[in-house]
Amino acid sequence: MNVPILAAHAVTKSFGPTPALRDANLSVTAGEVLAIMGPSGSGKSTLLHCLAGILSPDSGEIVFDGQRLGTLSENARTLVRRDRFGFVFQFGQLVPELPVLENVMLPLLLGHTSRRVARNAATALLDRLDLQGLHRRRPGELSGGQAQRVAVARALVTRPSVVFADEPTGSLDSHAGQNVIDLLVASAREQGATVVLVTHDARVAACADREVLVSDGEVTDYAAAPAIEHHGMGTR
């Protein structure tokens, strides 16, 4: 039996009087690609942020690799997010002042990896994601699809256990979005990383091993996604 690497147990979260999550339960096994689906305002991004230790639940608990995140100090949670988690957000959130290569190196440098090792790891990932020749460009000089591929490289450069992706294709056209999601899933599988992917797009969710639905703050569907050939978002 596969032991979950990440789980939410009866998690609730409210913002003022508005409940965002209601006794949400979820588990993800190592190496799994999980899509969390739901309409805008359903609580799916709040669930991802709780799973990633960015938000603390009002009640319930998040367990990562056998450890309850709620028992950790804020500093310890920060280290988990830095060293064990990778993040891809809808608009990339690259550092605008840094060139592409430095953006990808940054998580390793924050963890005190030598510049040589960080540069080699970042270069290898950028090449893998077909971003050769863009190392010295600033984020403002990139297309949306290129910027998101740089964000994917930055998320993967530390070889994280879990990659969290919050609407990673939401700001892209269908072709660029297909390219980004295919590269994210393929690269994460190569590294053996778990992917937790928030989306409202069924074509994106089709690249996952399993889909769950969040509706009004409740996880209501654990049905496995149908067996498909993962050739991209356009093959439905």
Q: What are the residues facing 27 on neighbouring strands?
A: 7
Q: Which two tokens mark 167? A: 């609407």
* Weakest mean pLDDT among 2-16, 80-94, 199-213, 216-230: 216-230
47 band by pLDDT with thresholds 50, 70 and 90? very high
Rg, C-alpha atoms of the chain: 17
Mean pLDDT calculated for residue range 159-187:
88
- Flag whether pLDDT at 227 surpasses 60: no
The torsion angles phi and psi of 196, rounded to 5 degrees, stand at -115, 115
232 band by pLDDT with thresholds 50, 70 and 90? very low
Q: What is the DSSP letter of 65?
A: T
- Flag whether pLDDT at 236 surpasses 60: no
Query: Considering the chain, what is the average pLDDT of its residues?
Result: 88
Q: In the Cβ-directed half-sphere of 52, how many Cα atoms lie within 13 Å?
A: 26
Structural domains in the chain, sorted by start: 4-221 (3.40.50.300)
**Whether 70 contacts 56, CB under 8 Å:** yes
pTM beyond cutoff 0.75: yes
d(CA 206, CA 233): 7
pLDDT at residue 117 in the model: 97
Question: What are 138-170's pLDDT values in tens digits?
Answer: 999 999 889 999 999 999 999 999 999 998 888
d(CA 171, CA 148): 9
Mean pLDDT calculated for residue range 55-74:
94
Question: Of the candidates 159, 158, 177, which has an alpha carbon nearest to the alpha carbon of residue 167?
Answer: 177
pLDDT at residue 214 in the model: 93
- 22 burial (CB, 10 Å; 0-12 / 13-18 / 19+) is middle
| Nearby residues of 157 by Cβ (< 8 Å), 6 or more positions away | 86, 104, 105, 107, 108, 118, 121, 122, 125
- Flag whether pLDDT at 235 surpasses 80: no
- Flag whether pLDDT at 230 surpasses 80: no
102 band by pLDDT with thresholds 50, 70 and 90? very high
* Weakest mean pLDDT among 55-59, 81-85, 155-159, 172-176: 172-176
- Flag whether pLDDT at 61 surpasses 80: yes
